[in-house]
């Protein structure tokens, strides 16, 4: 019998994502001037207020207030009527030195012997149901909000949009896990106040269905476009009004959108958030590494769908183990345990090896902090950073290295494909 599966996304203006973006902007600035920085930074945002807290070991000094304000303004919180804007909000920093007890387990005389920054398990996942090897419901949810943000910044076809928004997509699958159709789409978007609530709701619904959705569809491959149909159930601003939003409507915290950040409920999650953590924290780096493994395995034809787990003990160099689940989709006679054994030899999962392989000690993290850390475009960009006393540097950095299919040939050789 066919079944339904749902994933959600939230926009860059969602309060939790505002917090994530501030935390990752701090990471980028620390790494830009001192690539050996160790940072764990949390952010809280609420009405007119930003609170920064965490631990840092670095040789550089930053104007963390300016970084927070610039990030907020870039997102689009630039008006006093939002009750939260980058120019007027208060910014309190409670950032202090990293604990020596933690650092002694990470820093070693030889970088190759670097220990894991924490214990825990991390998961990576990939499926061949989309071109970017991501779960379809989550991919569509992200696309809807990225397009909505583009419309907001264009301020032309739709002129009343504010930064905070959420989306959700429900897809009907066949018994053999093939997407059949889109069953429902939910979009809740913050908006300017209207004189009449009924007129407002009708206008927003019409614009989402007739302007936003066609723009999303136009950028999709034909097989995904075919899943859109006239019977889709649309729930547009289902509460009826969404003027009060952002950090004024709901307090935001770093690390509260870990399922949006990863696979939308598909696969599994180890529980550790990403944003605000430098790559010595395996919560982040190993999650990227397992995604890299899963994507390359699926692309190479090892299975149609793969989940990869790795686990660590704090301060220990080698992982506790690697687990593979192919969900019965491996086309050749090999067990998941046998696949895991080959993977463990092909991919070096020591923390320093992951940092080196994926080029993680670079300021590449601000771009990850909204619309998902996985399934994104691998590209080289130029980024500019400034210190309080005038030093400015520009760096060419490679984004989303864990999305590269650079191990496909190696995987094929290792598995005899």
71 and 46 in contact (C-beta within 8 Å)? Answer: no
The yes-or-no verdict on residue 105 having pLDDT over 60 is: no
14 assigned binding-site residue: yes
Residue 309 falls within a domain, yes or no?
Answer: yes
Could you tell me which residue, 100 or 166, shows the higher pLDDT? 166
Looking at the structure, tell me whether residues 270 and 395 fall in a common domain.
yes
165 assigned binding-site residue: yes
Could you tell me which residue, 113 or 40, shows the higher pLDDT? 40
Looking at the structure, tell me whether residues 197 and 274 fall in a common domain.
no
pLDDT digits (tens, 9 = 90+) for 261-295: 999 999 999 999 999 999 999 999 999 999 999 99
The yes-or-no verdict on residue 303 having pLDDT over 60 is: yes
Looking at the structure, tell me whether residues 94 and 170 fall in a common domain.
no
52 and 28 in contact (C-beta within 8 Å)? Answer: no
pTM score of the predicted model: 0.95
The band of 103, judged by pLDDT with boundaries at 50, 70 and 90, is low
The band of 97, judged by pLDDT with boundaries at 50, 70 and 90, is confident
Looking at the structure, tell me whether residues 231 and 194 fall in a common domain.
yes
CATH number for the domain including 267? 3.30.300.10
DSSP code per residue over 262-311: TTTTSS---S---TTB-TTSHHHHHHHHHHHHHHHHHHHTS-SEEEEEEE
Q: What is the pLDDT of residue 102?
A: 57
CA dihedral 395, 399, 402, 404 (to 10 degrees): -100
pLDDT digits (tens, 9 = 90+) for 64-84: 999 999 999 999 999 999 999
Residue 73 falls within a domain, yes or no?
Answer: yes
69 assigned binding-site residue: no
Provide φ and ψ at 322, rounded to 5°: -120, 135
The band of 1, judged by pLDDT with boundaries at 50, 70 and 90, is confident
Collapse the DSSP code of 366 into the 3-class scheme (helix H, G, I; strand E, B; otherwise coil) and give the result.
helix
Q: Average of pLDDT values for 293-311?
A: 98
Residue 268 falls within a domain, yes or no?
Answer: yes
The yes-or-no verdict on residue 100 having pLDDT over 80 is: no
Looking at the structure, tell me whether residues 306 and 402 fall in a common domain.
yes
pLDDT digits (tens, 9 = 90+) for 175-218: 999 999 999 999 999 999 998 888 899 999 999 999 999 999 99
Residue 332 falls within a domain, yes or no?
Answer: yes
Q: What is the pLDDT of residue 112?
A: 66
Burial of 151 (0-12, 13-18, 19+ CB in 10 A): buried
142 assigned binding-site residue: no
Residue 250 falls within a domain, yes or no?
Answer: no
From 215, 245, 275, the end of a domain falls on: 245
Looking at the structure, tell me whether residues 240 and 96 fall in a common domain.
no
Whole-number mean pLDDT of the chain? 94
Q: What is the pLDDT of residue 197?
A: 82
Residue 350 falls within a domain, yes or no?
Answer: yes
Looking at the structure, tell me whether residues 82 and 48 fall in a common domain.
yes
Looking at the structure, tell me whether residues 290 and 404 fall in a common domain.
yes
96 assigned binding-site residue: no
Residue 270 falls within a domain, yes or no?
Answer: yes
198 assigned binding-site residue: no
241 assigned binding-site residue: yes
404 assigned binding-site residue: no
The band of 117, judged by pLDDT with boundaries at 50, 70 and 90, is confident
152 assigned binding-site residue: no
Which domain does 324 fall in, by range?
120-127+255-415
CB atoms near residue 109 (< 10 Å): 6
Looking at the structure, tell me whether residues 303 and 403 fall in a common domain.
yes
231 assigned binding-site residue: no
From 192, 222, 245, the end of a domain falls on: 245
Q: What is the pLDDT of residue 369?
A: 98
299 assigned binding-site residue: no
Looking at the structure, tell me whether residues 263 and 411 fall in a common domain.
yes
Q: What is the C-alpha to C-alpha distance for residues 39 and 37, in angstroms, rounded to an integer?
A: 6
203 assigned binding-site residue: no
The band of 109, judged by pLDDT with boundaries at 50, 70 and 90, is low
398 assigned binding-site residue: no
From 196, 224, 245, the end of a domain falls on: 245
Number of domain units in the chain: 3
101 assigned binding-site residue: no
Q: What is the pLDDT of residue 386?
A: 93
The yes-or-no verdict on residue 116 having pLDDT over 90 is: no
Looking at the structure, tell me whether residues 359 and 286 fall in a common domain.
yes
Looking at the structure, tell me whether residues 238 and 367 fall in a common domain.
no
Q: Average of pLDDT values for 328-350?
A: 96
309 assigned binding-site residue: no
Q: What is the pLDDT of residue 111?
A: 67
The yes-or-no verdict on residue 99 having pLDDT over 80 is: no
Residue 280 falls within a domain, yes or no?
Answer: yes
111 assigned binding-site residue: no
């Amino acid at each position: 019998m066919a079944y339904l599966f749902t994933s959600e996304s939230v926009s860059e203006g969602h309060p939790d994502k505002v917090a994530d973006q501030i935390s990752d902007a701090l990471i980028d600035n620390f790494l830009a001037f001192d690539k050996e920085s160790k940072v764990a930074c949390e952010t809280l945002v609420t009405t007119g207020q930003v609170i920064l807290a965490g631990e840092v070991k670095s040789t550089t000094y930053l104007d963390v207030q300016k970084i927070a304000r610039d990030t907020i303004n870039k997102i689009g919180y630039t008006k006093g009527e939002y009750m939260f804007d980058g120019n007027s909000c208060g910014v309190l920093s409670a950032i202090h030195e990293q604990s020596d007890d933690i650092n002694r387990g990470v820093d070693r005389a030889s970088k190759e012997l670097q220990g894991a920054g924490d214990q825990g398990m991390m998961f990576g996942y990939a499926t061949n149901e989309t071109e970017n090897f991501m779960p379809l419901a989550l991919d569509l949810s992200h696309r809807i909000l990225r397009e909505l943000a583009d419309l907001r910044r264009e301020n032309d076809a739709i002129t009343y949009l504010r930064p905070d928004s959420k989306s959700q997509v429900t897809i009907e699958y066949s018994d053999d896990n093939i997407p059949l159709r889109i069953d429902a789409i939910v979009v809740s978007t913050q908006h300017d106040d209207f004189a009449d609530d009924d007129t407002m709701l009708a206008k927003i619904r019409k614009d989402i269905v007739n302007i936003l959705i066609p723009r999303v569809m136009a950028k999709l491959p034909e097989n995904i476009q075919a899943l859109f149909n006239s019977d889709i159930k649309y729930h547009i601003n289902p509460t009826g009004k969404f003027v009060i939003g952002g950090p004024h409507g709901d307090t935001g915290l770093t690390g509260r959108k870990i399922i949006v950040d990863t696979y939308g409920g598909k696969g599994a999650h180890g529980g550790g958030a990403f944003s605000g953590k430098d790559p010595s924290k395996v919560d982040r780096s190993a999650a990227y590494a397992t995604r890299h493994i899963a994507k390359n395995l699926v692309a190479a034809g090892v299975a149609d769908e793969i989940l990869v787990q790795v686990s660590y003990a704090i301060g220990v160099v080698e992982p506790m183990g690697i687990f593979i689940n192919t969900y019965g989709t491996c086309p050749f006679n090999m067990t998941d345990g046998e696949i895991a054994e080959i993977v463990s030899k092909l991919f070096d999962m020591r923390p320093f090896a992951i940092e080196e392989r994926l080029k993680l000690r670079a300021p590449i993290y601000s771009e990850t902090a909204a619309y998902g850390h996985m399934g994104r475009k691998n590209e080289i960009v130029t980024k500019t950073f400034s210190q309080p006393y005038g030093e400015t540097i520009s760096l060419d950095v490679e984004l989303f290295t864990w999305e590269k299919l650079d191990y496909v040939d190696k995987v094929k050789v290792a598995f005899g494909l």
